[in-house]
């Protein structure tokens, strides 16, 4: 649900999973065949996992981080992991790169540049996201929703960002 001022988008679990399914349909309908899915952790892990199951393709993970300032609400410097975790030894062939959104586009641009210069076994690379913001300098190959007002997206699992074990114990009275 987008607020009237266009500054916040609140997403339920059902809406979130529906977006992932719509993303799968877009990729499928494109006719593009790929060998691996590479998700960017953390935002791309949930979509990557589900797409991996739908397409029956191996899931590789590359960890990136830029939203650490102000409890994850402000973009800081970008860190990209030196290694990709994959069950097949090394990532190769046609790769679908998955993240949750193209916000500024900085992360996706940097990761794609790194993959194209440092991972020669990748023969083709396409990107897929749930949301693309109007301010993004990056245009993904596949995207479900375009957000021209650039809202802050409140994803359904964000409650865990501020919930520690003590709060869970209290919640469940264990």
Continuous H helices in 84-138 = 106-118
3 state SS of 42: coil
Over residues 93-116, mean pLDDT = 95
Cα–chain-centroid distance for residue 171? 29
pTM of the shown model: 0.89
> Considering the chain, what is the average pLDDT of its residues?
91
Domain range summary for the chain, segments of one domain joined by +: 8-172
The answer to whether the peptide bond before residue 171 is cis (omega within 30 degrees of 0) is no
The tens digit of pLDDT for each residue in 140-159 reads 999 999 999 999 999 999 98
* Residue of 81, 86, 15, 26 lying closest to 51 (CA atoms): 26
The DSSP bridge pattern shows strands 122-133 and 93-98 to be parallel
Annotation: CATH topology of 8-172: Rossmann fold (3.40.50)
Q: Which run of H or of E encompasses 9? A: strand 8-10
pLDDT at 67: 54
Terminal-residue alpha carbon distance, the chain = 34
Continuous H helices in the chain = 13-30, 45-55, 106-118, 165-172
């Amino acid at each position: 649900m987008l607020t009237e001022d266009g500054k916040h988008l609140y997403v339920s679990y059902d809406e979130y999973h529906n977006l992932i399914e719509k993303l799968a349909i877009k990729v499928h309908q494109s006719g593009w065949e790929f060998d691996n899915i590479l998700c960017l952790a953390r935002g791309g892990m949930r979509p990557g996992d589900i797409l991996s199951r739908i397409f029956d393709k191996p899931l590789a993970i590359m960890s990136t981080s830029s939203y650490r300032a102000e409890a994850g609400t402000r973009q800081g410097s970008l860190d990209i992991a030196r290694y990709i975790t994959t069950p097949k030894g090394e990532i190769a062939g046609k790769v679908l790169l998955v993240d949750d959104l193209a916000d500024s586009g900085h992360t996706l641009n940097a990761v794609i540049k790194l993959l194209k210069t440092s991972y020669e076994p990748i023969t083709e690379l396409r990107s897929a996201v749930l949301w693309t913001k109007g301010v993004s300098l990056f245009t993904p190959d596949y995207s479900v929703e375009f957000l021209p007002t650039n809202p802050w997206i409140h994803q359904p699992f964000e409650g865990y960002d501020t919930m520690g074990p003590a709060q869970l114990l209290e919640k469940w009275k264990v």
